[in-house]
Every structure is written in C-alpha cells, then in structure tokens.
Structure 1
C-alpha cells in the first residue's frame, strides 16, 4: 500500500541514499581499480553523506527493499544492494518535497 507521502518504490525513481561505513570502504576499494584504462575521478566520500540514487530493482513481497545505483560526485557510481527505507546509514529515503 502506498500513499502520496509514502509511495511504493518503483524502478527508475530517484531517492536519497545515506552511506554506511561498509559503503565507504567498498567505494574506496573500487576507486583504486581502473576501468578500461580510465581511472576513477571523484570527490572523497564520508560516512553519513547522502547522495542521489536511482532504484534499479525492487523485490516482490518486500516493497521497501531495493537495489540502487548511487550517483557519486565524479565519474563513478556505487551499486547498493538490498537496501531498506529509513533514516540510518545504509538506508534510502524519499527526497524532501519543497
């Protein structure tokens, strides 16, 4: 069930994602690798920072658990899998309405 203030996440929706300590470690590890001869160029990331992310997969029976592509500040993104909605590190939330 969804309401206007609490919609059901669907593929293609933009959400906010708050980085966990594990996310920061994985992003830093991935950044050391080179993809097709081009290195990763991005701003540093820190625990608790929030970045935009797009929902790339939803799970039936778990309407608030999704896979995300998190858009970092640079030429690198991060795949955050099986993340739930909430205010804590490692969780996603809807962007505030203005």
Structure 2
C-alpha cells in the first residue's frame, strides 16, 4: 500500500504510545500476585477480568489495527499491548514529516524511515 494512501479499516499499522496512554494502561493493570492474594482473601469480584502485562512506557511502538476511519482523517485503533489487554486509541492522526513520529500518532511500517529522515 502506498505510504500516502488513506488508512482503511482492517489495516495493521504501528502506534506510538503517549505518556497518557502509558499511565492509563498501567493504572488498570494488576500483577498475578495481586490477583492471587485477592482471590485467596475472597476480595476478587466474581467475574472480574484481570489486566496483566509488561509495563507500558511513553514512546513504545505497538502494532495496532485500524477499526474506524473518520472524514477528518483521524482513525480509531485497537492497539495490541504486551499483556492480556488492548488499548482503544480514538481519533488519532498519522505521523508526518512535520509532526514526526511522536507519541500519540500512528504510522505504517514502511513510513518510519521516511519520517525519521525528513525531520
């Protein structure tokens, strides 16, 4: 697919986590030991799902699936994290030579070299 072509639903892209993204992901995660302790003490809610995974960090590049494309050029993404959960990133813009590949933006895998060499 051409680098300048609009994104399509179902396309796999790369998303760079922002500081706020990382805070949100890490705040909702627990460790397996936390879950075990709460289950043993009968404090874990019946049917509750645990979000467990590696710590998310500002600037991490993660694969993401385009799930919505808006007329203003923004997209909604399901960002695949290193854990049992995903991040729903809404209204995200593409990285560009002007914006750079900074956190909170998405890019195609073949765009990253172009973006990093133009800035």
The 4+ residue runs of structure 1 with deviation greater than 6 A are none
More strand as a share of residues? 1
Number of residues paired by the alignment? 92
Structure 1 match to 2:64: 53
Structure 1 match to 2:77: 68
Larger radius of gyration, structure 1 or 2? 2
Equivalent-residue separation in structure 1 for 2:46 and 2:63 (angstroms):
22
- Three-state SS of the structure 1 residue aligned to 2:109 is coil
Structure 1 position 96 matched with structure 2 position 110: yes
- Relative to structure 1, the CA distance from residue 37 to residue 16 in structure 2 (aligned partners, 3 Å threshold; closer, same or farther) is same
- Three-state SS of the structure 2 residue aligned to 1:5 is coil
**Kept in 1: contact 2:3–2:108 (CA 8 A):** no
